[in-house]
Structure 1
Amino acid sequence: MKQRRIYLFLILANLFWAGNYIFGKMVVSELTPVQMTFFRWTIAICILFPISQIVEKPKWKEVWKKWPILLLMGLLGVIGYNFLLYVALRFTSSLNASLVNAMNPALIVCFAALFLKEPLTLSRMVGLLMSLIGVLLVLTNGQLGMIFRTVYNVGDMLMLAAISVWTAYSLLGRRIKEIPPIAAIAVSALLGLFVLVFFLPTSGNPFPLNGRVVIGILYIGLFPSILSFIFWNAGIREIGASRAGVYMNLITVFTAIMSVAMGNPVHLSQIIGGLIVFAGVYVTTLKV
């Protein structure tokens, strides 16, 4: 029963993150990435701290003793990944961003082997290569021969940087098992905001209070910021970064469904590239 609950948590986490691509694309035309990240996590920490106190009753003094690693997690998972994602969405589609993001599980597997000494089997190496080929199909619009002479979409390249940052965040999450997950997210988000606030004065126009922006910010502040992070961190602690990472493929599936439902086109190169990435991540799970 506990295993089923963890798998459900991971599915829901990625469903809400898929919505982040859709709503993020909708809002990024009216807010700067710094503003989006700041307002998103301001909403989140106002809820995360009370939830943690009610559900986990953490020893806050012990939690704050881990502030260096929590600050690093805040800089990576709270500021770094989200900032890069929202900048990327200014230049690329939500579906393309999620397709590049689909390579993340394979990266997590390889870096978990490198830094956490998780076994790196032949199947995982082959899976990473397949995932890389799939992402390159997306980046080159299906023309792999253009790899060394094409000008890549800036948004797609920023997404490659974003998934590298997220990989580092996921691996760090394994090193604070003694801290309750919600408390860890709350403190890391708060520390991240302390840094981000210094960039707000240079982030552009004032916050526009229209319905489109309010709905978008409320969604990304509540669902991907609170529920997804809680579910994701709970999953990593129970089944490990490598196994949990496989579920990140669902982001692309959910994003594609939402994009099609909203009338956005899906191209053949995106479908083929996505399928190869999925196949590559599946191969990484084989015990060979």
Structure 2
Amino acid sequence: MIKPDKPARPDPIYFILLFVPLFWGGAFGVTKHVVAEIPPLTTAAVRFFLAGLLMTAWVAARGEWDWAPLKRRWGGVLLLALTGVFLYNIFFTVGMKYTSAINGALVIVVNPVTTAIVAVTLLGEPWSWRLVAGVALAFLGVLTTITRGSVETLAALSFSGGDLLMVGGVISWTAYTTIGKVVMKDVPPLLATSASTLAGSVLLLAATLAEDGWARLPAVSAQVAWEMVYLIVFPTVVAFFLYNVGIKRIGASRASAYINLMPVNAIWIAAVFYGETVTLAHLAGAALIISGLLLITVFDIRPSAAGHPLRQEE
């Protein structure tokens, strides 16, 4: 008697990848708390310099550090450092000082949408009705978030400075992902990420001269010290590592879909651990943004390659 084949067991990476949006979502509430004790630029510089060292050590230990492609694409790697590490983190950390973790997450998560627009207009990627609908829904979600659902606010253009800084983060991250699509054709993603993180952290270290932050580090509370460890290890090093494993195992399109869970995690973490208030405007904005992102990233739309700078074409 022939025994029937056992059903294939699902690849555990589908479950492991759930930690990626969990760690990234948690970074919003944690950063909001950290910058209350450490100035924003100092926070970003410490986080990315130490994370860059850890990533570089990891790449070197794997025998994957190679100077040849870095020399060929040194200009592109520096642009990655400028846009994705330096400028993005200035907007992100300073913006988080003046807006809520929930608002910050809901604005930043629109990055795949803005990059999809750039990919269509500048890189010749295909346009479709799903992309149009996704962009419209996500844009409406961001608008709902930063206006708090108030028509009066929209009419007066009375957005908070923190929200507008987060929009600056969206623009710089869009530039980063677009440049990355070109640079990472010749430079392996982990190598490019490690090198650009280190280079960008040097720029952030120089920017901290405008702050009086280093003198405050020895006096930070135990909670902030552990939160800095979290920011360095989990959202930066571990999440990047797991994301790259996901790209290798199940492909870039499927791995990027997990980014859609980031605002959901940011909302409940900020509410549970940091006492932020969840409003109907937040929930409505999250629903619209996630709906738009699902249309773009899940339903076989090629511009979904815009999700994250570490992504590769399948």
Using structure 1 for the length normalisation, give the TM-score. Answer: 0.88
- Which of 226, 240, 244 in structure 1 is aligned with 2:237? 226
Query: Which residues in structure 2 correspond to 1:152-171 (within 5 Å)?
Result: 152-171=159-178
- Give the corresponding residue for 1:178: 186
Distance 2:171 2:97 in 1: 19
Match of 1:274 among 268, 286, 289: 286
Between 189-198 and 30-39, report the one with greater CA deviation.
Answer: 189-198
Q: Give the gaps of 5 or more residues in structure 1.
A: none
Aligned partner of 2:201 in structure 1 is 193
**SS state at 1:30 partner:** coil
Query: Do 2:264 and 2:286's aligned partners in 1 also have CA atoms closer than 8 Å?
Result: no
1:163 maps to a residue whose letter is: V
2:264 pairs with 1:256: no
Is the Cα–Cα contact under 8 Å of residues 10 and 235 in structure 1 kept in the other structure? yes
Report the secondary structure of 1:86's partner residue: helix
Which residue in 2 is equivalent to 1:29? Answer: 36
Query: Is the aligned partner of 1:40 residue 2:47?
Result: yes
**Residue 71 of structure 1: aligned partner:** 78
Q: Give yes or no for contact 1:173–1:233 (8 Å, CA) kept in 2.
A: no
Q: Percent identity of the aligned residues?
A: 27
Equivalent of residue 147 in structure 1, options 154, 161, 182: 154
The runs of 5 or more residues in structure 2 that have no matched partner are 1-7, 302-314
Q: Distance in 2 between matches of 1:28 and 1:51?
A: 28
- Please report the RMSD computed on the Cα atoms of aligned residues, expressed in angstroms: 2.5
Does residue 204 of the first structure (1) align with residue 204 of the second (2)?
Answer: no
The answer to whether the 8 Å contact 1:185/1:229 transfers is no
The alpha-carbon deviation at position 21 of structure 1 amounts to 0.6
CA distance in 2, matches of 1:180, 1:111: 22
The answer to whether the 8 A contact 1:135-1:273 is kept is: yes
- TM-score, scaled relative to structure 2: 0.82
Q: Is the 8 A contact 1:133 1:276 kept in 2?
A: yes
Task: Write the distance in 2 (CA, Å) between the matches of 1:243 and 1:118.
Answer: 18
> Which structure: larger Rg?
2
Q: Distance in 2 between matches of 1:81 and 1:244?
A: 22
258-267 vs 150-159, greater mean Cα deviation: 258-267
Q: 1:131 to 1:123 in 2, by over 3 A?
A: same
Aligned 8 A contact 1:136 1:144 in 2: no
Contact 2:49-2:202 within 8 A present in 1 as well: no
Structure 1 runs of 4+ aligned residues shifted over 6 Å read: none
- Alpha carbons 1:84, 1:159 under 8 Å: kept: yes
One-letter amino acid of the structure 2 residue matched with residue 207 of structure 1: R
The separation in 2 between residues aligned to 1:250 and 1:282, in whole angstroms, is: 10
